[in-house]
């Protein structure tokens, strides 16, 4: 039976070669334009209008989508790049999403081509050992002792859920996997007031309700101190507290909780310590900054997103355990058609036992390829630069009479707000109006599209928030940002 011509053409290696060369050339040109600060970094459109326009590309409500003319693929894909938020453009200083390393982009192409799932070793003869090698490297960089281990999973949110499920199975006091969440007393963990929403969401997915989190207040530096966590422990009431969730790089402000102190407290009470280092884990790669993570090696579980400060395209998340057997506690299930009926540790090479995914992408490939291409020192240099850029922006804000810094940046996140001068409409002391003013300012930034910043509601009010996720940002971009915000206020 011969392969029909349309199928033959779609799978033709020569077609991949020709289109691939043209696409890579076009993408390299586009990257150069972004670096040259050419074009709008945020091509924002009204969502309804954008939805209609993109629906038209699939024929609207008409018939089947026809094959495009030669060149359609490259033209379409370059068009998508141009219509997207340009994270590589140095005027983008918004969310914690990396301007990815080009080497990682190439690695992702290979992952797509070979498409080996890494849930089962036989399906990923290179992907599985590469993932384990990257996991072991990450454990070493965090200073975890021998016997630590983990797995890659699809994002920090799922990583946090995985770690908390393992904590519950290990410390819940009964076999939750077999007997169900309601078979024991109500359980809870201590979290900080600045905890990432994925932690609260995980606790509620686990069936603990809002009562599953006992919230400890943060100090003036947005850190959860051991004293605050101790105070929260005293509020347990009828709940059995089984863990403490600390942040190493909180999302709102980038603050690092004092992990050593919290590890002491956890040890004193026999609690599981989970460190959400989704944002800040990469600080371990900087000799100058890794002290911020002191104590992380004592955590029972850790989540580290390589798609944040390690500059990987999303999603590449490691969920790590100080004692590797805990990696099997989260999903204590057997699926005979995938895994042998042996104890999971005896089939350590079948990674699907460790995480929620069944089919899982070769997400560690990008980290492995970039480490080998660029060497590990580059990553420390990038982390240092993002931090230095944040400090520089904070310095400019402190020196400016019309801007106010929320707190000195501990990592690459800066929270600040515009404060109109006495001649302008809003009196300083009218904080709610100051909030409204800065919210309106951010809306204007988005509608304008020449820069991008986001916002955060902090106890002191609403602040603009800029995260340095692109090492190509320079001083002129930071100065330009403040000038741009002023100009939008004057208009």
Closest to ligand PLP by CB, 187 vs 248, is: 248
End-to-end CA distance of the chain: 69
Nearer to ligand PLP, 221 or 428 (CB): 221
198 is a site residue for ligand PLP (CB under 6 A)? yes
Nearer to ligand PLP, 196 or 418 (CB): 196
Nearer to ligand PLP by C-beta: 153 or 286? 153
- For ligand PLP, which is the closer residue by CB, 162 or 438? 162
CB of 216 vs ligand PLP, minimal distance in Å: 16
Report the residue number, 194 or 261, with the smaller CB distance to ligand PLP: 194
Residues within window 312-371 making contact with ligand PLP, judged by CB under 6 A: 315, 317
Span interacting with ligand PLP, options 18-26, 223-231, 246-254, 463-471, rule CB under 6 A: 246-254
Cα 267 to chain center, whole Å?
29
Among positions 153, 157, 169, 301, the unique one binding ligand PLP when judged by CB under 6 A: 157
Among positions 156, 281, 344, 471, the unique one binding ligand PLP when judged by CB under 6 A? 156
Q: Smallest gap, in angstroms, from Cβ of residue 277 to ligand PLP? A: 7
Q: Nearest approach, Cβ of 23 to ligand PLP (angstroms)?
A: 27
Q: Parallel, antiparallel, or unpaired: how do β-strands 461-467 and 413-418 relate?
A: antiparallel
With a CB cutoff of 8 Å and minimum separation 6, the contacts of 29 are none
Burial class (CB in 10 A: 0-12, 13-18, 19+), 7: exposed
- 256 vs 403 by CB, closer to ligand PLP: 256
Among 247, 263, 296, 327, binds ligand PLP (CB under 6 A): 247
x-marked contacts with ligand PLP along 266-305 as a string, rule CB under 6 A: ----------x-xx-------------------------x
Among 90, 94, 124, 155, binds ligand PLP (CB under 6 A): 155
Per the document, the length of the chain is 491
124-131 CB contacts, 8 Å cutoff, 24+ apart: 124/362, 127/362, 127/364, 127/365, 128/349, 128/351, 130/362, 130/364, 130/365, 130/368, 131/351, 131/362, 131/363, 131/364
CB of 222 to ligand PLP, least distance (A): 12
In whole angstroms, how close is the CB of 357 to ligand PLP at the nearest point?
14
**Within 304-323, which residues bind ligand PLP (CB under 6 A)?**
305, 315, 317
Q: 198 vs 225, which CB is nearer to ligand PLP?
A: 198
Q: State which of positions 405-424 bind ligand PLP (CB under 6 A).
A: none
Cα–Cα nearest to 475, from 393, 372, 368: 393
State the minimum distance, in angstroms, from the CB of residue 307 to ligand PLP: 6
Size of residue set near ligand PLP by CB under 6 A: 15
Give the nearer residue to ligand PLP in terms of CB position, either 367 or 488: 367
- Looking at the Cβ atoms of 104 and 434, the one nearer to ligand PLP is 104
Q: Which residue is nearest to ligand PLP (CB)?
A: 156
120 or 158, CB closer to ligand PLP?
A: 158
Residue range at the interface with ligand PLP (CB under 6 A); choices 33-41, 244-252, 355-363, 442-450: 244-252
Choose which of 116, 153, 251, 301 interacts with ligand PLP (CB under 6 A): 251
- Find the binding residues for ligand PLP in span 63-102 (CB under 6 A): 96
Choose the stretch contacting ligand PLP; rule: CB under 6 A; options: 155-163, 435-443, 447-455, 474-482: 155-163
Structure tokens at 315: 């999603």
In the complex, the residues that contact ligand PLP under the rule CB under 6 A are 96, 155-157, 196, 198, 247, 250-251, 276, 278-279, 305, 315, 317
């Amino acid at each position: 039976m011969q392969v029909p011509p349309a199928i033959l053409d779609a799978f033709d290696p020569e077609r991949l070669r020709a289109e691939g060369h043209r696409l890579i050339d076009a993408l390299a040109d586009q990257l150069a334009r972004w670096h040259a600060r050419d074009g709008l970094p945020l091509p924002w459109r009204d969502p309804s209008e954008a939805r209609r326009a993109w629906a038209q590309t699939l024929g609207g409500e008409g018939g089947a989508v026809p094959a495009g003319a030669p060149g359609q693929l490259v033209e379409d894909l370059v068009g998508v790049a141009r219509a997207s938020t340009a994270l590589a453009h140095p005027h983008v200083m918004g969310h914690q999403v990396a301007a990815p390393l080009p080497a990682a982009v190439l690695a992702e192409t290979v992952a797509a081509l070979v498409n080996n799932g890494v849930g089962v070793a036989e399906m990923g003869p290179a992907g599985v050992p590469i993932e384990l090698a990257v996991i072991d490297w990450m454990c070493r960089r965090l200073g975890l002792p021998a016997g630590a281990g983990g797995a890659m999973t699809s994002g920090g949110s799922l990583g946090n859920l995985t770690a908390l499920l393992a904590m519950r199975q290990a410390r819940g006091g009964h076999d939750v996997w077999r007997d169900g969440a309601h078979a024991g007393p109500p359980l809870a963990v201590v979290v900080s007031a600045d905890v990432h929403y994925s932690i609260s969401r995980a606790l509620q997915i686990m069936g603990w309700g809002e009562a599953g989190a006992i919230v400890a207040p943060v100090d003036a530096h947005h850190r959860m101190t051991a004293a605050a966590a101790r105070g929260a422990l005293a509020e347990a009431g009828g709940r059995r507290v089984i863990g403490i969730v600390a942040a190493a790089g909180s999302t709102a402000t980038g603050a690092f909780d004092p992990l050593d102190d919290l590890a002491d407290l956890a040890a004193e009470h026999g609690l599981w310590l989970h460190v959400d280092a989704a944002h800040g884990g990469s600080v371990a790669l900087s000799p100058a900054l890794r002290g911020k993570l002191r104590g992380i090696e004592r955590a029972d579980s850790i989540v580290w997103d390589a798609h944040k400060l390690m500059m990987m395209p999303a999603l590449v998340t490691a969920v790590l355990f100080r004692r590797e057997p805990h990696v099997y506690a989260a999903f204590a299930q057997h699926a005979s058609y995938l895994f042998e009926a042996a104890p999971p540790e005896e089939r350590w090479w079948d990674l699907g036992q460790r995480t929620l995914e069944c089919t899982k992408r070769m997400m560690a490939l990008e980290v492995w390829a970039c480490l080998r291409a660029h060497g590990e020192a580059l990553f420390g240099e990038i982390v240092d630069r993002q931090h230095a850029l944040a400090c520089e922006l904070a310095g400019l804000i402190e020196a400016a009479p019309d801007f106010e810094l929320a707190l000195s940046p501990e990592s690459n996140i800066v929270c600040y707000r515009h404060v109109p001068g006495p001649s302008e409409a809003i009196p300083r002391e009218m904080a709610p109006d100051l909030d409204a003013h800065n919210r309106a300012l951010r809306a204007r930034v988005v509608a304008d599209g020449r820069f991008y910043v986001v916002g955060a509601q902090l106890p002191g009010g609403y602040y603009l928030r800029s995260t340095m996720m692109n090492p190509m940002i320079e001083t002129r971009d930071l100065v330009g940002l403040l000038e741009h915000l002023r100009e939008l206020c004057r208009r």
